[in-house]
Chain A
Amino acid sequence: MSILVWAEHDNASLKDATLAAVTAAGKLGDVTVLVAGKGCGAVAEAAAQIAGVAKVLKADDAAYEHALAENVAPLVAGLMDGFDAFVAPATTTGKNIAPRVAALLDVMQVSDILSVEGPKTFTRPIYAGNAIATVESSDTKLVITVRGTAFERAAATGGSAGIEDVTGAGDSGLSSFAGAETAKSDRPELTSAKVIVSGGRALKDGETFQAVLTPLADKLNAAIGASRAAVDAGYVPNDYQVGQTGKIVAPELYIAIGISGAIQHLAGMKDSKTIIAINKDEDAPIFSVADYGLVADLFQAVPELTEKL
């Protein structure tokens, strides 16, 4: 089979999510990576270096700069004559584009796959990760999004693929990009961090949240995450949110502080290798998934932990 993989990037550098998608695609067949954007030559060069990539297609056009689905989906659908499957990382960009491609091809998408079980058979989580479905597609072409934390990342170097320019229809005239507010952070990115320190409603307010969690996160070189309760209460921006409706993470170590552990939150972090919970409620559901639990007041325990590490 020949597989087309969507490269996630910001027109300057390739995002890690692409590497996991390449691994998943490699289990199906020969991998070609599509880099669509504006002035995305450096990204195409980086994609060509990924181990296991046979070819890179570069669509460099102002219409693709912000990955608007209305412009990008027809480009991808147009390229699919030569491919058996389209694979995208299950990022917000991948989730926005892939179903639009699937509908243009008249196929059902398989969302957020956890594993490849056969040429058309995959596992995927349903009901907030409370069940795993094994599904087989009967469509002639496949459209798949890949859960980044479920696949090893392909090595970013070692490949030497050729780069070929492609063109599509360009601007559909249906939509335009008006602006972005990017949350600034010097910390590791939440979805690729090895350690995550995450806080919940018990942190009281934004200032307390930062005051308690930042020193611990600094010590562990960790990303900072949050439960929906902490986001809704305005302690931190929404891109901190871990859960069914936020980001899905699977770090080496996840430290849940003042988080009760609702199913929607667990859906986003229960595949972490080690989970530590600090909560003063000994009946909090988070303790049922935690490898190490400490029943204590976080305002005493966390500073003490930070100091002793």
Chain B
Amino acid sequence: MKILVPVKRVIDYNVKPRVKADGTGVDLANVKMSMNPFDEIAVEEAIRLKEKGAATEILVVSIGPAKAQETLRTALAMGADRAILVQTDDEVEPLAVAKILKAIAEEEQPGLVVMGKQAIDDDSNQTGQMLAALMGRPQGTFASKVEVSGDAVSVTREVDGGLETVNLKLPAIVTTDLRLNEPRYASLPNIMKAKSKPLATKSPADLGVDTAPRLKTLKVSEPPVRKAGIRVGSVDELVAKIKELGVA
């Protein structure tokens, strides 16, 4: 079985984003970029499935600017076999990403698509579900455990009240939650080896997908700033403050 893993290049999760003064977006010039943390978990899970013998090939795909190649090389260095970059400088919304991934999945016929549950830049949490809908496949979202057996996959999901397990018919789409695994670091020899692994480049037009946005961003602003608080010197002062609030 082939596994398809979509990965996204996003602002590094440790960087505090700054809103541009003209309100057009977040300033990404000279900001450290990395692979979306949930996607690292997806790559790791695909590699583990291959190591267990449940998968034969791992294909990673990214949609974005030429620099997204770096993100793909990271995935190749972790252990993916092959990469496709769908190159575009436009911002592509989850619906269009799902359509691009569907076109690739139709060509490549993966048994499983494993992807992050959300990207930490737009926080949409949509692409996996949309891909599953467009392809008419089952979805195992927010996965904290994935077990493939025969032509089915059992996915334990992190839901509001605890955990839930669903059985899905393959082919299926799985989106990863944080506790699924601990992604490995790419070793230097593997980073060197990744440079010679195949990386194909396509455009959204090659795949017949219109990426025109459906949502227009009118403005991006700073969130309301909290008023500066005070430091209290003792527990007694804190007790007095809590009592003032009337909750105790």
Contacts and interface: CB of A to CB of B under 8 A. Distances in A.
A134 interface: yes
B161 A182 contact: yes
B11 A296 contact: no
Contacts of A295: 231
Contact of A138 (B94, B159, B216, B237): B216
Nearest to A15: B160
For chain B, the bracket of interface size reads 35 or more
Contacts of B52: none
A127 B167 contact: no
Interface string A257-277: 000000110000010001110
Contact of B160 (A91, A276, A287, A293): A91
B29 interface: no
B95 A102 contact: yes
B222 A109 contact: no
Contacts of B132: 69-70, 100
Interface in A121-152: 121, 125-139
Given A174-B137, A239-B160, A293 B245 contact: no
Contacts of A54: none
A175 B167 contact: yes
B192 interface: no
Interface stretch (B60-68, B115-123, B183-191): B115-123
Given A93-B159, A93-B160, A125 B229 contact: no
B214 A111 contact: no
B178 A245 contact: yes
Given A69-B139, A99-B130, A252-B245, A289 B168 contact: no
Nearest to A194: B247
A139 B134 contact: no
A135 B216 contact: yes
B133 interface: yes
B126 A111 contact: yes
Nearest to B228: A288
Contacts of B227: 291
Contact of B126 (A69, A102, A289): A102
Nearest to B123: A126
Interface stretch (A36-44, A56-64, A207-215, A300-308): A300-308
B248 A138 contact: no
Interface of B: 11, 13, 16-17, 19, 26, 93-95, 98, 118, 120-134, 136-139, 141-142, 144, 154, 157-169, 177-179, 213-223, 226-227, 229-232, 234-239, 241-243, 245, 247-248
18 contacts: A92-B160, A99-B127, A100-B129, A103-B95, A112-B123, A112-B125, A132-B220, A132-B222, A134-B221, A135-B217, A137-B215, A173-B169, A191-B160, A239-B161, A292-B230, A292-B241, A294-B235, A301-B235
Given A70-B132, A96-B139, A109-B124, 15 more contacts: A92-B158, A95-B125, A109-B94, A111-B126, A112-B125, A126-B121, A127-B11, A172-B138, A181-B163, A183-B161, A220-B247, A237-B162, A292-B238, A301-B235, A309-B248
Enumerate the 9 nearest inter-chain pairs by beta-carbon distance, A residue then B residue, closest first: A99-B129, A103-B133, A103-B130, A99-B126, A108-B214, A174-B138, A291-B229, A175-B138, A127-B17
